[in-house]
Amino acid sequence: MPYPSDLKYTKDHEWLRIDGDTAIIGITDYALEQLGDVVHVELPSEGEEFEAGSTFGTIESTKTVSDLYMPATGKISAVNSDIEDQLETLAESPYDKGWLVKISISSLGDDLISAEEYETFISEDE
């Protein structure tokens, strides 16, 4: 599956959509495929601040529990609370309705890569 070219990605499988001084953050469909059936997502509260690279939540599947890593420094401005009750949205719409948090960006992380670079990275991982 081609990855949306308007997004930035991390090697930890998060994606970031920049909209002015706000970033929308989620996890890639590749990560979701690797996880299997997601059974729980733990997300931060609005107003919490995070540094790029820090853990901002967890995602639990029938296989494992994985940390979610913040791809930018900033303050949480919105949390997609619908996800916790409708986990299937993550797999059905990972780049639209399946977003996790929105942040007011202070600065971007140093390790963001393009869609093309992300596709190369995961193909080397397979």
What pLDDT score does 47 carry?
A: 97
pTM for this predicted structure: 0.93
Q: Which CATH architecture has domain 8-125?
A: Beta Barrel (2.40)
pLDDT score at 110: 87
pLDDT tens-digit series, residues 41-96:
999 999 999 999 999 999 999 999 999 999 999 999 999 999 988 999 999 999 99
* Residue-range domain boundaries for the chain: 8-125
What is the structure's pLDDT at 124?
A: 86
Q: What is the pLDDT at residue 2?
A: 74
3-state helix, strand, coil in the chain (%, to 5): 20, 40, 40
Strands (E), 14-124: 14-19, 22-27, 38-42, 49-50, 55-61, 65-69, 72-79, 101-108
Res. 5: pLDDT tops 80 = yes
How far separated are the first and last CA of the chain, in Å rounded? 14
Alpha-carbon gap, residue 106 to 32, rounded angstroms: 28
